[in-house]
Amino acid sequence: MVNFDLSQVGATFRKKDKEYKDSAPLPEEEDDIDASEFEDDEVVPKKIKNRRPREDDFTQQRLAAINPVLTPNTVVPIYLVIAAVFVIVGGCLLAVSTKVDEITLYYQDCVTAAPTDDFGDMPSSHFQFYFHNVKNFNVTPQWKFVDDPNDDFSERGTCQIRFTTPKVIKKSVYVNYMLEKFAANHRRYVLSFSEDQLRGEHASYDLVHDSTGINCKPLARSSNGKLYYPCGLIANAMFNDSFPMQLINVTDNSQNYDLTNQGINWHTDRQRFKKTKYNYTEITPPPFWEKSFPDGYNETNVPNIQEWEEFQNWMRPGAFDKSTKLIRKNGNSSLPAGEYEIDIGLHWPVTEFNGKKAVYITHGSSIGGRNPFLGIVYLIGGCICCGMALILLVCWLFSGRKIADPSSLSWNK
């Protein structure tokens, strides 16, 4: 059996440990650090993120609120105030509308119904007058058809119409043409044009024919390969009856009333319609323009649609099958009372679709032409509000209860 001397073992370990510490390298002494080096450094505090909303009335939901209690005492006066406003506005609109004078002369049957040798009375169904100061005016207008032997179209010649104005028509005087039963709101029709052509761009066939939505697919290119300019159904169907630049005074030709075709459209349309960049050899007139351009386009007759205001008016289709468009005006002088003649060149047929066309002469007002519809609507709205106020008042007087009466609560019954 071997005996170990634990004291000797411990001494051995202590000796080895002392030798290891003596042999280990001493750590280098650090240089003295001057605390003044850190005195100028700014201590940036750590920003603590706070999700609390700002301390204001909006974020803390302290905004003042209005919670009106709708009682008969408040509702009835409100209805009466609204009724009064509607009735006053409607009455003013109706009063202004009734002071607008107008003359409407239908001439779609001039080729077949008007006499050719002398002036004759127009049928009563072909004219309408309204003069607010002359209630019993009943002078029948007359018409006459002057044929054109060189024209073989169904709609040809000139329709001469004489009419009488019993009083002065104050400026500005507007001469419009009116179309009835012409459905210009058909979807295929209103989308048939090229916006690029209208803006004067040199649009290719693929662009005017294959564009999504608005395009000239039904009428883009002729059989000889030339592009129609302007293309599309709207431009092709443009109204082309010719209107004069004067109303002839029948009794005194020196007192003829001048008209103009300038300033008959919105001035902003000049930014939309631009002179074309096409060369005249690349384009051809639409089919229905053959009468105006029998030999096609040349260097001088390509239409400048930026200056052609009649065309700009036509390119804004009417929303209904009855529409009027301005074609002549006089903003400088009033139309004196007297007998006048207007000569209209016939080119645009309407009898094929049982339509009507007329010349419509009127003057301006602060709300436009003579149309009582808006005034009547306001009056009806005012009457309805007044009726509602009376109904609520009667119900309150005969079957009402006290406001905030606790005895009316369900658990108190």
Q: Give SS3 for 404.
A: coil
Number of separate domains in the chain:
2
Q: Tally Cβ neighbours within 10 Å of residue 84.
A: 13
pLDDT tens by residue, 26-51: 454 445 555 555 455 556 666 777 77
Question: For the chain, what percent of residues have pLDDT higher than 70?
Answer: 88
Give the integer Cα–Cα distance in Å for 204 and 231: 12
Q: Is the pTM of this model over 0.85?
A: no
Give the integer Cα–Cα distance in Å for 286 and 222: 8
pLDDT band at 76 (very low <50, low <70, confident <90, very high): very high
Report the pLDDT value the prediction gives residue 17, as an integer from 0 to 100. 58
Report the pLDDT value the prediction gives residue 20, as an integer from 0 to 100. 53
In a domain, 14, yes or no: no
Q: Residue 342: beta bridge partners?
A: 161
pLDDT tens by residue, 311-351: 999 999 988 889 999 999 999 999 999 999 999 999 999 98
Judge if 149 and 292 occupy the same domain.
yes
Domain end residue (candidates: 346, 364, 382):
364
Q: Tokens for 197, please give them.
A: 């052509």
In a domain, 142, yes or no: yes
Judge if 193 and 342 occupy the same domain.
yes
Judge if 382 and 284 occupy the same domain.
no
AA letter at 38? F
Judge if 135 and 262 occupy the same domain.
yes
Judge if 202 and 334 occupy the same domain.
yes
Judge if 289 and 378 occupy the same domain.
no
Judge if 83 and 206 occupy the same domain.
no
In a domain, 145, yes or no: yes
Give the integer Cα–Cα distance in Å for 214 and 231: 11
Judge if 216 and 342 occupy the same domain.
yes
Report the pLDDT value the prediction gives residue 5, as an integer from 0 to 100. 52
In a domain, 39, yes or no: no
In a domain, 52, yes or no: no
In a domain, 303, yes or no: yes
List, in sequence order, the alpha helices (H) in 304-354: 309-314
Domain end residue (candidates: 364, 386, 406):
364
**Residues whose CB is less than 8 angstroms from the CB of residue 83 and which lie 6 or more positions away in sequence, other chains included:** 382, 383, 384, 385, 386, 389
Judge if 293 and 376 occupy the same domain.
no
Judge if 343 and 261 occupy the same domain.
yes
- Sheet-wide strand order for 246-249: 120-121, 142-146, 158-165, 338-345, 246-249, 257-258
Q: Are 183 and 323 in contact (CB under 8 A)?
A: no
pLDDT tens by residue, 363-379: 978 888 888 999 999 99
Q: What is each CA distance from 337 to 102, 126, 198, 256, in whole angstroms?
A: 13, 22, 42, 12
Report the pLDDT value the prediction gives residue 267, as an integer from 0 to 100. 87
Q: Which domain holds residue 89?
A: 71-100+368-398
Judge if 93 and 115 occupy the same domain.
no
Q: Is the dihedral of CA 106, 112, 113, 117 positive or negative?
A: positive
In a domain, 66, yes or no: no
pLDDT tens by residue, 292-306: 898 999 999 999 999
In a domain, 304, yes or no: yes
Q: Are 392 and 72 in contact (CB under 8 A)?
A: yes
Question: For the chain, what percent of residues have pLDDT higher than 90?
Answer: 62
Judge if 88 and 119 occupy the same domain.
no
Does the pLDDT value for residue 10 go beyond 70? no
